[in-house]
Amino acid sequence: MSTYERDFIQAYHDNADALFRYCLFKVSDRERAIDLVQECFTKTWSYVAEGKTVDSFKPFLYRTLNNLIIDEYRRKKDTSLDALVDQGFDVGMDPREALLDSLDGKRAVALLQKLPEEYREVIYLRFVDGLSFAEIADATGENTNTLTVRAHRGIKKLKELITYGY
């Protein structure tokens, strides 16, 4: 195995869990999240197999996964859970809850999912997956200053959710 292949496999070991968590947070379907993470890694390998250089795997993987998630949203737009609720369909217990690992993790992720969309992603990537603002900017294409402001406001909003309920 070449050094580059070793590095890529190491990048898998180092980032697979965090990418899966993030993907599950975004798509709320465990099997689909696993498929998307797998696709993220195979797409990344295809990119480097063509002879292109990746300076740092972590932000590249997050960027690739983000794009796959956007495609997933577009694909599921007409059949999304929210769309079903909007149409008056009573889904009863949130099926997302059945897909998460532990009670604490379930509650934590459910609470984070209550954040407004503009704060949710940066809060999750920064404080759950531990990416730096520079890495998040690289992964999402957003400006670092914008991200820090959103993170600050997101934390304030989270405090409100904890204090006043949701």
Partner 1 sequence: MDTKIKNIFKAAQDVSLTEAERAHVLSTLQNFMKEHPSAHPQHSTPSPYTNVSLFLRVRYVVPVTLILSLVLGGGTAFAAEGALPGDTLYPMKIHLNEKVETLLAPTPEARAEVAAAQALRRVSEAETLAAHGRLDATTTEEIRQRFSLKSEELKRQVQKLEDDNDHAGADRVSVHFEQELDTHFNAFVGLDERSATATRPEITTIKDDIQQRIKHVSDERMKARARRIKDVQEKLNAGTDIHTQIRTTSDGEQKGDSVEQNGSDQGRKDGPTPESPEGGQENGPILPLPAQLGL
Residue ranges that bind partner 1, judged by CB under 8 A:
1-14, 16-17, 20-21, 24-25, 34, 37-38, 41-42, 45-46, 48-51, 53, 56, 100-102, 104-105, 107-109, 111-112, 124, 127-128, 155, 158-159, 162
- 13 vs 74 by CB, closer to partner 1: 13
- Taking the complex as a whole, the smallest distance from the CB of residue 63 to partner 1 amounts, in Å, to 17
- Taking the complex as a whole, the smallest distance from the CB of residue 121 to partner 1 amounts, in Å, to 13
CB-based contact 58:135 (threshold 8 Å): yes
As a whole number of angstroms, the distance between CA 66 and CA 132 comes to: 16
- Taking the complex as a whole, the smallest distance from the CB of residue 101 to partner 1 amounts, in Å, to 5
Nearest CA to 64 out of 29, 37, 25 is that of 37
The token pair that represents 98 in the structure block? 């059945």
- Taking the complex as a whole, the smallest distance from the CB of residue 51 to partner 1 amounts, in Å, to 4
Question: How far is CA 60 from each of CA 15, 64, 142, rounded to the nearest angstrom?
Answer: 11, 6, 14
- 34 vs 81 by CB, closer to partner 1: 34
CB-based contact 15:61 (threshold 8 Å): yes
- 6 vs 77 by CB, closer to partner 1: 6
Backbone φ and ψ of 88, nearest 5°:
95, 5
- 71 vs 160 by CB, closer to partner 1: 160
